[in-house]
A and B are shown apart, each in its own frame.
Chain A
Amino acid sequence: MRHLLLIDRSGENTEVLKSALRRRGFDVHVEDQQWRAVQALRQPVPEWEFVVIVAGSTPDNDATLLRELVVASQQLQQSCIPEFLFASRGRCTPTLRIRIAKLGVHYVRL
């Protein structure tokens, strides 16, 4: 099972996404609290392979969280550093896209 941390900032019901990801072999753990997500990434177990952040209505604020999460994941010397995916419903400005890319994070517009 591949461990996936899902951070939903959109306030939507994550059940549909969670079950779709589970069907594809991901062990999904959902966090909606910022500090909890950071804490989860600082734990040595489980080794997260993927971190998916679904942005809320203001993707700019979530990009700040994204940076915090990337830093948290790199602080702990894991054998496998997770891949980050930033999903946004709203349009991200080119400047924000560049900020996301510089963090080595993948981006998808929903």
Chain B
Amino acid sequence: MYASDEVDKIVEELEFIETERRQLHANGPHFRILHRSARQFTPCGSYEPVAAYLVHAGRTYQVRLGTLLGLFDYMARHNKLAQTARQIERGTRTGSSMVGRLAAVPARRIPRRYIRVYTGRIRMALGKALHEAGIEVSPDAVLVSEECAMNETGYRFHATFEWLHIVE
């Protein structure tokens, strides 16, 4: 015979799992982006992203993005609006709006024609992290492609983000 507190513990845990699943479905997965001071790279003293983590069930899983961290960070900061390759290119043109390794060289931008390839690679990295975390969500549902009126594709994250700044 089960004691009532044993039943409560099972039910409580099931409710927690259900809420977690519902939130994942509604808001997408949660990511943490780690920034550190980039004074040694840029004179303006901006921050550069050093790592991105998927946070799930109290654990963190690194999203291995390599040099794409800058683009990931940029898209994360603009995730409310779907941005086309043209908009991303413009947005990353000036070093002031773009942080990360891609901004280490002043006025370096991401050419429009590369965006599609880069988003594909970001999806690959996301897929690995999601698989590692045991989240049954397609990376296409996290980095969403949206058709625009002028035969362009807009990219937007269906996810939540937080930034941690390390001051060295």
Contact = CB atoms under 8 A, between A and B. Distances in A.
Interface of A: 2, 4, 12-14, 16-17, 20-21, 24, 26, 50, 52, 54, 80-81, 83, 85, 87, 89, 104, 106, 108-110
A37 B146 CA distance: 42
Identify whether the interface residues of B are mostly helix, strand, loop, or mixed: helix
Nearest to B59: A101
A95 to B, nearest CB: 17
Contacts of B13: 85, 87, 106, 108
Interface string B117-161: 000000000000000011010000000000000000000000000
List the 10 closest pairs (A to B, CB-CB), nearest first: A104-B134, A110-B6, A108-B13, A20-B7, A16-B2, A17-B2, A83-B17, A81-B136, A13-B1, A17-B7
Contacts, number: 55
B26 interface: no
B17 A50 contact: yes
A110 B133 CA distance: 25
A12 B14 contact: no
B9 interface: yes
Nearest to B133: A104
Contacts of B136: 80-81
Nearest to B12: A108
B21 A17 contact: no
A85 B7 contact: no
B1 A12 contact: yes
B2 A52 contact: no
